[in-house]
Amino acid sequence: MRKSILAGALIGLVSALVSSPAQAQDAGKWEIGGFGRYNHYDSKLPIHPVDSTWRNRYGAGGRLGYFFSKNWEVEVDGSYNESNLYFPGILVTAWANMPFHARLLYNAPLGGDNFKFIIGAGPGLTKYKYATEGTNFNASALVGLRLHLFWWIHARIDGTLDYEPSATTSATYQSALGTESRTTLGLQAGLSLIPGGGCDHAGDAVTVSPSSATLAPGDKRTFSGSAMICGKPRPVTYSATGGDVTQSGEYTAGGTEGSYNVTATEPKSGKMGTASVTVRKPAPPPPPPPAPTLSRVALSPKDAKYEMPGGVDYSVTGYYSDGTSKVLSTCSLSGTGNPSVSGSRLSWPAPGSYSVTANCESKSDNANVLVTRRPPVIIINGTHFAFNSPKMVFNKKWADSLRAAADSLKRHPELRVRLDGNADYVGSDPHNCWLSWERAKSVRTELIKRGVKANQIVSVAGYSATVPLPENEILQTWRDTKAKKKDKGNWWDRRVEVNFADTPAPGTACPEASKSSAGKKATAKPAGAKKAAAKPPAAAKKP
């Protein structure tokens, strides 16, 4: 039965520990409590051995303590305990043991302020009552546990030891109890009140955010103060120097430069927190840095090459004195050879090597471009055309070029071509113009005879002697043939080019003329269109 009661009490204490909020003792708090006590007397005392003596070993008492710091306490207690003395053949009743103690206690937290281990010691005295009273001094020790239950109420269970070094001062007790030293063990369990307990001021604090600020005269800044007292938030009031502050925390800086404070105060505890405020006039803004100047420009691409009728897209990058760069879109572009300019794209009307210049804010850069013409489909030249004649001359050796052009156009009826007729340098311009036109028309007639559809040939034109072949395209074997045949002109320039219709013309065609208006036939005197690569004969004869 007793074990069940003790187990139930322990379970109740542990449950209270888990469910109760933390509560700490503060300096200046008092503890008032009562307890029940069980005494285990020294075997030197003649305690009656019958079962009833267990009942008589219980007693009760009270305590009064004072916390002079958070965990240190001075405590006094006393209890009244009756028992029965036994002498052979005699049962003595109404014997009482009344121990009193003054102890210094330390309350050691066990993982928090809810649960504490108590240890302490101090002097005391034991009063006995048996017919007359007697008193013994003792030395007392205590170990125990303290559990905060709720509100101001704490539960305590303590074990005590009382050591009496000398016998009672009463002669009556000396004769009954002897004069030897004795030790009494006690077990105390009870409740205590600690009025006003439950607040741990160690965590009290008032803070202000932001903790510092720099303002110009007249500027405003809102500060937020918070107070935590006894683990709970509390409202604060505001005060300030060097300016005005509202009770919502808005501070307005005054007109005098200096260092000031905004203070938040928790009224009940008087605790304060501060933020520092520096009031100073703003420094004038620094002058703007000088605008960067354009150091150089770079035109890209530097060396371009394209085939007509295309063009080249240029870009200009500007580099500045501050190390930065950017693409410039306002630069002017120009080039030799009279190119057409569309935004940043340049295209040329004729093949050749040209230069391009970009001008930007007095800075310039140059680039080179090589313009080539799309090769003709085929060139019909050589002995197809005799000197000073528009008629075609056919032989086995030189018929291949005409046959190849006809076969290619028949295989690809979707192709559209242009026939460009040419003459060599010998003869007058009108006569060579007529020759070039007639040669182009004779090729057109021959291609149609060979099965080419007429709509595939979109145009014919004559260019007189204005479009000779470039010197670097003339093979040495051609020159050898000219010398062998004693050609009075350049047979390779007496040609008709079959070009794709969508390619640019090689130049400006001469006006088509009749034979009567073309003038005399060619002579050995050059027309001036191109200086002969080899000096022509004195007079040109019809081959």
Q: Which residues pair with 148 in a beta bridge?
A: 154
Residue with tokens 């009567």: 516
Find out whether 217 and 253 touch, Cβ atoms under 8 Å: yes
At 454 the pLDDT is: 94
Q: What one-character DSSP code corresponds to residue 529? A: S
At 189 the pLDDT is: 94
pTM value is 0.35
Find out whether 191 and 163 touch, Cβ atoms under 8 Å: no
At 488 the pLDDT is: 84
pLDDT in 10s for each residue of the chain, 543 residues: 343 433 443 334 334 333 334 444 567 889 999 999 988 877 766 665 554 444 467 889 999 999 998 889 999 999 988 776 665 555 555 667 788 999 999 999 887 677 899 999 999 888 877 655 677 788 999 999 999 888 789 999 999 998 888 755 555 555 556 667 778 899 999 999 888 655 666 778 999 999 999 999 999 999 999 999 877 899 999 999 999 999 999 999 999 999 999 999 999 888 999 999 999 998 888 888 888 899 999 999 999 998 777 789 999 999 999 989 999 988 999 999 889 998 899 998 888 899 999 999 889 999 999 988 766 666 665 446 777 777 766 555 556 777 888 888 898 888 899 999 999 999 899 999 999 999 999 889 989 999 999 999 999 999 999 999 888 888 898 889 888 888 888 888 888 888 888 888 888 899 987 766 665 554 444 333 343 333 333 333 332
- Tens-place pLDDT, residues 416-425: 999 999 999 9
Does domain 294-372 fall under CATH 3.10.20.30? My reply is no
Q: Which residue ranges does the chain devote to CATH 3.30.1330.60? A: 378-518
Determine the Cα angle at 48 with ends 43 and 54, to 5°.
90
Residue with tokens 């004693």: 486
Chain centre to alpha carbon of residue 256: 42
Residue with tokens 């014997």: 95
Q: Which residue ranges does the chain devote to CATH 2.60.40.10? A: 204-279, 294-372
Element (H, E) at 408: helix 400-411
Determine the Cα angle at 430 with ends 425 and 431, to 5°.
65
At 221 the pLDDT is: 95
SS3 412: coil
N residues, the chain:
543
**So what's the architecture of 378-518 in CATH?**
2-Layer Sandwich (3.30)
- Pairing mode, strands 212-215 and 272-279: parallel
Q: Which residue ranges does the chain devote to CATH 2.40.160.20? A: 2-193
At 88 the pLDDT is: 57
Q: Which residues pair with 134 in a beta bridge?
A: 128
Query: How many CA within 13 A on the CB side of residue 161?
Result: 9
Fold of the domain spanning 204-279: Immunoglobulin-like (2.60.40)
**Cα–Cα distance, 420 to 439 (Å, whole number):** 9
Residue with tokens 């509100």: 151
Q: Which CATH number does the domain 2-193 belong to among 2.30.130.10, 2.40.160.20, 2.40.50.180, 2.60.40.1930?
A: 2.40.160.20
Q: Which residues pair with 240 in a beta bridge?
A: 262
